[in-house]
Amino acid sequence: MLTRADCLAADARDPLAAFKQQFTIPEGVLYLDGNSLGVPPKTAAARCSKVVSQEWGVGLIRSWNTAGWFELPGRLGNKLGQLLGANDNEVVVTDTTSLNLFKALAAAIRIQQQAPQRRVIVSERDNFPTDLYMIQGMIDLLQQGYELRLTDDTLSLEQALDDDVAVLLLSHVNYRTGAMYDMAATTALAHRHGALTIWDLAHAAGAVPLDLNAAEADFAVGCTYKYLNGGPGSPAFIWVAARHQDRFWQPLSGWWGHNRPFDMDPSYQPAQGIRRFLCGTQPITSLAMVECGLDVALQADMAAVRAKSLALTDLFIQLVEQRCGQHPLTLVTPREHARRGSHVSFRHPHGFAVMQALIARGVIGDYREPEVLRFGITPLYLSHADIWDAVEVLRDILDSGSWDRPAFHQRASVT
């Protein structure tokens, strides 16, 4: 049986252990929700203060040029691209994941209109809902006979990919289960059937190795406020394979995507390349802080991050099963490494109340319908001992039954 001493010994050997010093984590908190909202890099407060007091307060309008605000989406995109297997000028940080998905979907649909019978968009019923909602919004808007085909498992996914399919839209790592697709194999499968792929990397970027170009993916979107520690609601990103960028101008064609935005031309002329996926003026304070998280992530070797992520998720599963084995917990996350992202989920019949009890004790994970306790494992700021300590609190809550209080059953919270 594992002991806490074993965890401390593993921490002593951890090549990423020092990264924790680059983040602010409140006293008394074991934070297992970095896949929902990452923690602040220590540089974030100063960066934010500089944006407000210096760049805005002193530079005022001049900072669009002198502080590089106008170039931020592309400059941050190039940094982020290094974590995605993207080349320069393939990524912009902008808008929200939902909106970027709409842009990618519009572009993919338009490219596929060369094959007019392709009127199906395939996704998973278990995908993060906003992805499905944006597809539904697009279909309803177009009124061109598009339909959404939802699959429930890998087998039905293969069956769903027939010659009517225009686009396959999947999350690389599932928000609830943590299950991860083989991006290259799945993209190849879609391409064999003539479909284009859109990958939602919300729960993957910064957490697992990615190589979009090697996988020959077509489009990808994702967010920066989870494993990339960009701050609450920090702007999202979109990657478009270079071969597709100039084939269509996406319909959210605001002035930031214009070829010469300050000519004030009444006709839209898209910029060449990824800049045409920009739309309007970006929230600079939130956007600028994204760089703080990226700068930390870029210091880490992604192979080491992945190795530690798997070690910690293995450890978490093993400890829960060893120490909470008599309680009705069911592992939702794949055991197979190749199919696991960087969070671990267990079902419990009273999952909501158990999570509230954990949060009350400072072990912050989150709850997702139905019955799912979800624990984000962030290798840059969690240790093996943190995992041990978190499982000990879970064990105590379950052994004592202390989760079963009225306060822990109240669903007032919105997230």
Active site residues: 128, 200, 225-226, 374
Stretch that binds a second copy, among 3-11, 126-134, 154-162, 338-346 (CB under 8 A): 126-134
Task: Enumerate the known binding-site residues.
Answer: 97-98, 128-131, 200, 203, 225, 255, 281
- Closest separation in Å from C-beta 415 to a second copy: 4
Amino acid letter, 412: A
Choose, by CB under 8 A, the member of 231, 341, 351, 379 that binds a second copy.
231
Closest-CA residue to 16 (of 268, 297, 285): 297
Residue-wise burial string across 259-275, b where 16 or more C-beta atoms lie within 10 A, e elsewhere: eebeeeeeeeebbebbb
Would you tell me the crossing angle of helices 72-84 and 284-297 to the nearest 10 degrees? 30
Choose, by CB under 8 A, the member of 16, 364, 380, 398 that binds a second copy.
364
Q: Phi and psi (nearest 5°) for 173?
A: -120, 125
Contact call for residue 413 and a second copy (CB under 8 A):
yes
Choose, by CB under 8 A, the member of 283, 328, 349, 401 that binds a second copy.
283
- Closest separation in Å from C-beta 227 to a second copy: 14
- Closest separation in Å from C-beta 57 to a second copy: 5
- Closest separation in Å from C-beta 362 to a second copy: 11
Task: Look up tokens 């064999």; give the residue.
Answer: 192
Q: Is 289 helix (H, G, I), strand (E, B) or coil?
A: helix
Contact call for residue 289 and a second copy (CB under 8 A):
yes
What distance in Å separates the CA atoms of residue 21 and residue 18, rounded to the nearest whole number?
6
Stretch that binds a second copy, among 8-16, 307-315, 336-344, 364-372 (CB under 8 A): 364-372
Q: Report which secondary-structure segment, H or E, holds 198.
A: strand 196-200
**DSSP symbol at 240:** E
Reply yes or no: is the peptide bond before residue 370 cis, omega within 30 of 0: yes
Closest-CA residue to 177 (of 234, 225, 124): 124
Contacts (CB under 8 A) with a second copy, residues 128-167 = 128-130, 132-134, 136-138, 140-144, 150
Q: Which residues contact 335 (CB under 8 A, 6 or more apart)?
A: 317
Stretch that binds a second copy, among 157-165, 298-306, 361-369, 377-385 (CB under 8 A): 361-369
Closest-CA residue to 163 (of 223, 100, 120): 120
Contact call for residue 291 and a second copy (CB under 8 A):
no
> What one-character-per-residue DSSP string does 40-67 give?
PBTTHHHHHHIIIIIIIIIIGGGHHHHT
Contacts (CB under 8 A) with a second copy, residues 193-212 = none
Closer of 16 and 105 to a second copy (Cβ): 105
Closer of 85 and 178 to a second copy (Cβ): 178
Contacts (CB under 8 A) with a second copy, residues 250-269 = 250-255, 257-258, 261-268
Torsion sign over Cα 207, 209, 214, 216: negative
Contacts (CB under 8 A) with a second copy, residues 168-187 = 176
- Closest separation in Å from C-beta 399 to a second copy: 25
Torsion sign over Cα 393, 33, 122, 86: negative
Task: Enumerate the known binding-site residues for pyridoxal 5'-phosphate.
Answer: 97-98, 128-131, 200, 203, 225, 255, 281
- Closest separation in Å from C-beta 192 to a second copy: 27
CA dihedral 102, 104, 106, 109 (to 10 degrees): -130
Q: Are 35 and 381 in contact (CB under 8 A)?
A: no
Choose, by CB under 8 A, the member of 29, 111, 184, 242 that binds a second copy.
29
Q: Is 238 helix (H, G, I), strand (E, B) or coil?
A: strand
- Closest separation in Å from C-beta 27 to a second copy: 9
Contact call for residue 273 and a second copy (CB under 8 A):
no
Stretch that binds a second copy, among 180-188, 286-294, 333-341, 391-399 (CB under 8 A): 286-294
Closer of 3 and 143 to a second copy (Cβ): 143
Choose, by CB under 8 A, the member of 199, 227, 237, 249 that binds a second copy.
249
Contact call for residue 336 and a second copy (CB under 8 A):
no
Q: By rule CB under 8 A, what string of x and - marks binding of each residue 35-74 to a second copy?
A: -xx-xx---xx--xx-xxx-xxxx-xxxxxx---xx----
Q: Beta 120-124 vs 147-151: how paired, if at all?
A: parallel
Contact call for residue 78 and a second copy (CB under 8 A):
no
Contact call for residue 125 and a second copy (CB under 8 A):
yes
